Each structure stands twice: as C-alpha cells, then as structure tokens.
Structure 1
Amino acid sequence: MNDLSPAPHLTEDVLFGEIAVRIEGQERVTVSGANIPTAVLERDPSSEVDPQIAIGTRDAAHLTLTLDGVPLALRPGKGRFRRSTYRVRTSHQGVTHVLVPDSIPSSRFTRDKVHLADFSNDGDEIVIVEWREGASPEPVDAALGYLLAAAFGTGGSPAWMMLVDAVSAALP
C-alpha cells in the first residue's frame, strides 16, 4: 500500500470488532481487522470498467479474490433483469458463500445455504451488517461478507419494478 491510498472506512462490528473497508478506485477492495482474515478483491486494470460497480466489473476473468493471500474461486452473476442474477458466489476450503439481493436495500449472505446475515451498502465503503440470531458466523464469513457487499453493492429492485421503469422511460 502506498501513501496515496485512501483512508479506510472503519466499522465496529458487534461480533468481530473494528473492521476496515478500503476501496481504491475501481481496482481494489480490501477488508481487514484484528479478528478477521484480510480479504482482497482486485480488478485487472486493463479491463473495461462499469461505473455502476465499485470494483468495476462482474466478469470473473478480470477479478482476483484472495483471503490472507490465498486465491479463492469467485463467480459473480451477470447482473441482468432479475435480482438473483446479481448473486455472487465464492468458495473457500469446500465451503460456499453467497451474497444475493433479497430486497431493495439489502442482500442475504449465506454459508452453505445457511442464512448468516443481511448486508447493506450503497456502493461506498460504508457496509452495514445485521447478523442473524443463532447463526454463529466465523471470521472468514465476516471478511468475505463485507468484501462482497463493498465490491458489488447490495439490494436490487424486483423485476416488475425494473420493467415498469423501462416502460416509463420509453414513453414520450
């Protein structure tokens, strides 16, 4: 990290203490804290940038995800018409984590299909999490949840609302 890196946004997580979320342009998102592993998502700087996405792309071929320096598989959905197409999956040591929009402002975060938390983010470094009672999240869950929410955003309009908006925009 160089001296020109932006200061991270610090969040006090109720389970994992202080968590730092740093977005460096649309090329790198880093999540770290004393009680969680460091998660980093980097975009190939030569790839095409989508201004609607904090990390700049949903194309996995141009993204590299690491957890404490170990590469992880990442499968972001294409982000089309339905909320479910904005799903982002990652795998770590045989465990699958998924972040998928389930309301306008937030996304459901799961570990092997167990609902751990709901994340909210408006495309900036301020990530809000509500851990589910009795879910027992682990430090890796926090690192990946915060990272995916910061890098890809959360929430989404239902398909019917997007259709109404599209039709309204096409009318004179």
Structure 2
Amino acid sequence: MYVQIDLDRAAGTLRVSGYGLPVVELLRAPGSRADAHTPIGTRRAGLLTLSVDGEPATVRAARGRLLRRSYRVDARVGGVRYRLVPCGYDYSAFSRDGRRIGTLLSSGNGRVQDEWDGTPDPLDRVLGTALAAGFGTGAAPWWETVGGIVGELIP
C-alpha cells in the first residue's frame, strides 16, 4: 500500500495519505518560527494541530533533552493512544495503547521506512508515518549526549 508524504518544513505542513488510507495532517501554527531540529518545525503542543480525515486529534511531543524517552511523541485519535519513542540511534518504536506495533525510521527528510509487527491497520500506518516524518526518529543514548556536553565544556 503506497503512502504519500507531503512535508513543507518552511510552511510547517505535513500531509500523509494514500489510496484507501485516512488522511493525516500535522500543521504548525501559521507565522510561528521553525526550529532547526524538528522537521515540522516545533515540538510545542500549543503550536501544533493534528487531524485525521478532517477530525481533530491531539499530539504532544516531549521536549527532547537528555534521555531517548524525552524525544517521545504521543497522539490520541478517538480513544486510542499512540506513542513514537526512540529505541536506537536512528529508529523509533511505534505503539498503540501501550503495545508495540512497528518500528519506523526517518531522518527528517520527508521519507519514512517502516517495519510492522504483522499487517498494520490503515490508521496505524498513516499516523505512525506522519509522526515519524513530522518529528524524525531515533536519538543518541544518554551517556553519549552527556559525553558531548562535557566535551564542549573542556577547552
């Protein structure tokens, strides 16, 4: 099943769709300044709007600091909870209601590679793809991050 990803970093718009699939849109607030590290341009929930087939959904991205888990992204569509959380340098686990359903990889370039545990539900597929494309995947382990910080402090 082909998934179309349309990401415009400058405008802060992302649309994920495909034949027979729901349409997921993730939008950054118009006029808001984009950060350099997040494909959609921000991790601030107040500046983001998520919709599935035109119906509002919620999205909340953690701040992204020291621990891999701090780069998690949570979404709620209807009564279903989704989470994308880094589990390696460049890939993230995607879960529905606490159960892992796939692994996604995206460097923030508007492309996503996916590997599913079984056959994904159409909504799972487009929502996971949208979160991976909008926020990127993966993160360095905490000890590597701390080492980089310490290295910057030593002349």
**TM-score w.r.t. structure 1 length?**
0.86
Deviation per residue, 1:1-24 (Å, 9 max, x gap):
xxxxxxxxxxxxxxxx11111111
Query: Structure 1 residue aligned with 2:6, among 22, 32, 42?
Result: 22
- How far apart in 2 are the matches of 1:106 and 1:35? 26
- How far apart in 2 are the matches of 1:44 and 1:50? 13
In the other structure, the counterpart of 2:141 is: 158
Q: How does 1:45-124 map to 2 (within 5 A)?
A: 45-124=30-109
| Count of aligned residue pairs for this structure pair | 154
3-state secondary structure, aligned to 1:65: strand
Please report how far the alpha carbon of residue 35 of structure 1 lies from its aligned counterpart in structure 2 after TM superposition: 2.6
- How far apart in 2 are the matches of 1:167 and 1:31? 40
In the other structure, the counterpart of 2:29 is: 44
Please report how far the alpha carbon of residue 169 of structure 1 lies from its aligned counterpart in structure 2 after TM superposition: 1.9
The sequence identity of aligned pairs, in percent, is: 37
Unaligned runs of 5+ in 1: 1-16
Runs of 4 or more consecutive aligned structure 1 residues displaced over 3 Å after TM superposition:
none
- How far apart in 1 are the matches of 2:149 and 2:111? 29
3-state secondary structure, aligned to 1:37: coil
- How far apart in 2 are the matches of 1:48 and 1:23? 16
Please report how far the alpha carbon of residue 159 of structure 1 lies from its aligned counterpart in structure 2 after TM superposition: 0.6
For the aligned residue pairs, the C-alpha RMSD in angstroms reads 1.0
3-state secondary structure, aligned to 2:2: strand
Please report how far the alpha carbon of residue 48 of structure 1 lies from its aligned counterpart in structure 2 after TM superposition: 2.9
Unaligned runs of 5+ in 2: none
Query: Structure 1 residue aligned with 2:129, among 146, 150, 161?
Result: 146
Structure number with the higher strand fraction is: 1
